Structure 1
């Protein structure tokens, strides 16, 4: 079940749609990654598979921007499937009332594929990594795979305080990862600032030996982000399938896609980039956009606060908000515009 389905347990009035800028930015950056892949392969002819949620927002975005018209939504909740059938924005979207595991066991991946496994349940981490490994093993050259994982260390539980709490959480994480953990864990790895990077290592670890297969195909990371969505810290990792036995394959892909010129790339499993921006009114956003882009030599947070003439936060949170404004300077092109529409 993806996060969209989980959000359905909240009442409509409780869902803070205006606070979902970070998730929307991450989705737009995913589209930018796919646009880079499209320079190498015709992704418009690919099949997109994902957890659509009740509104199928990702499906609509990918169809609108990349003209993908072969799409499959996986949903385990029958009621949500019924709602998807009512809300689906295009007739060609197939809605399958199955779990992700059932789908991966039965589906035959042919031609080109983009698959996004958008998980949220932290206790199912071992199964989620196992499914992602299985998926990558089934995909072919230039296919794209993406995984989203819950990156809240508090979800590891623990009753102690201080150092003892971190030790408890480390043991719990080791238990959840099982044989996917082929690297040494220490207490610092479960701290909030480090936990997303630890999960990224786990993704790499679970895929580590796939290139040794006869096909020689492997998962080449392209991006890794962390963001908070409705209070949940999430990690997303996106990559493309390349051939490890062909020394020129990676060089050709990088050259044609020019992804190594993309400022948000992650080609070497380095720490994920944090997406964290302030909630802004349309008028505030227009004022900031008029001052962008800016050079690296300028302190973006102070500069953008000066452009507004104030800091859009409470007085006590000014340093944090200036940091968010600096992030806005990085991600403003992908920042969504939410507005009220009367039908």
Structure 2
């Protein structure tokens, strides 16, 4: 299988960029509330390290570990490390995670672990989830992102309910419908079931603070993707964490899928100069600015304009 970094430039995805910014905004809120501190970042940095760079700059995280299963990718990752404190662990996550969990030094600090898969839900991803929820240090934050299209789970929608139940077990209702597993509904269905699985696993592991859901985001990156995550708080940290994540301004549960319109730098700049405003932008207002967008595109930009990326190609 071709490594995903050969297919996608992970630094140039606007919907992913907005999703990442929402997650990091939430984590900064948790840091400010003193719920978590001195995190170790663990993820899949690939050769781009976009999230690692943000974790260092935005969250002030020093120690970071990138898991890289591709042999050539691991060598390129070592070459492309953005900071001296990034450590590359060569191997697949199923093999690397147990090693990290058994490392006493790593167990001395909470983790921010983001398993940002480019594949769909399967046995290995479930094994990773279970291992982290059972063994990560207290006050850790765990997130996972998976491909939420139906085909990789089961090509026929009628087979998806049983396949999902075989993966996630008793948290999946016996009467999970085929409609809930159709392409348009599957991301929401998986998001809720994955959250239930993480809660249930924390209960089974007898974690004193359980698992507190904090993130559930759906976005499109050529294919629908879903991110689910939350905290593994110490028992005494639960009230502050719950207060932060239940706030009306908490960014981790956007009400709609993140589907950012493709805009030029000039269009972004002109629209951002109009926001924030008491009265919502509409199509006529955009037309008066000199161009045109559909109402759905305008609503999406208004919702996420603070997180909207601006990319430019530099030529010489």
TM-score, normalising length: structure 1: 0.80
2:296 to 323, 337, 340: 323
Q: Write out aligned runs for 1:25-174 (5 A).
A: 25-41=18-34, 45-107=38-100, 108=103, 109-122=107-120, 124-158=121-155, 165-174=156-165
Tell me, in whole angstroms, the C-alpha distance in 2 between the residues paired with 1:249 and 1:45: 15
Deviation at 1:213, TM superposition (A): 4.2
**Secondary structure at the counterpart of residue 340 of structure 1:** coil
Tell me, in whole angstroms, the C-alpha distance in 2 between the residues paired with 1:89 and 1:167: 46
Tell me, in whole angstroms, the C-alpha distance in 1 between the residues paired with 2:195 and 2:74: 32
1:242 corresponds in structure 2 to 233
1:189 corresponds in structure 2 to 180
1:294 corresponds in structure 2 to 277
- CA separation of 1:258 and 1:117: change in aligned 2, threshold 3 A: closer
- CA separation of 1:137 and 1:258: change in aligned 2, threshold 3 A: closer
Residues paired across the two proteins, number: 309
> What runs of 5+ residues in structure 1 fail to find an aligned partner?
159-164, 313-320
More displaced, 212-221 or 302-311? 302-311
**Secondary structure at the counterpart of residue 89 of structure 1:** coil
Deviation at 1:328, TM superposition (A): 0.9
1:222 corresponds in structure 2 to 214
1:318 corresponds in structure 2 to none
- CA separation of 1:56 and 1:263: change in aligned 2, threshold 3 A: same
2:305 corresponds in structure 1 to 332
1:200 corresponds in structure 2 to 191
Tell me, in whole angstroms, the C-alpha distance in 2 between the residues paired with 1:259 and 1:342: 46
- CA separation of 1:129 and 1:278: change in aligned 2, threshold 3 A: same
**Secondary structure at the counterpart of residue 155 of structure 1:** coil
Deviation at 1:286, TM superposition (A): 1.0
- CA separation of 1:293 and 1:169: change in aligned 2, threshold 3 A: same
- CA separation of 1:132 and 1:58: change in aligned 2, threshold 3 A: same
1:168-223 CA-to-partner distances (Å, cap 9, x unmatched) read 34344444x25265323111111222111211232133221523544423111112
Tell me, in whole angstroms, the C-alpha distance in 1 between the residues paired with 2:80 and 2:210: 36
Tell me, in whole angstroms, the C-alpha distance in 1 between the residues paired with 2:57 and 2:285: 32
**Secondary structure at the counterpart of residue 84 of structure 1:** helix
Tell me, in whole angstroms, the C-alpha distance in 1 between the residues paired with 2:52 and 2:184: 32
**Secondary structure at the counterpart of residue 146 of structure 2:** strand
**Secondary structure at the counterpart of residue 27 of structure 2:** helix
> What runs of 5+ residues in structure 2 fail to find an aligned partner?
none
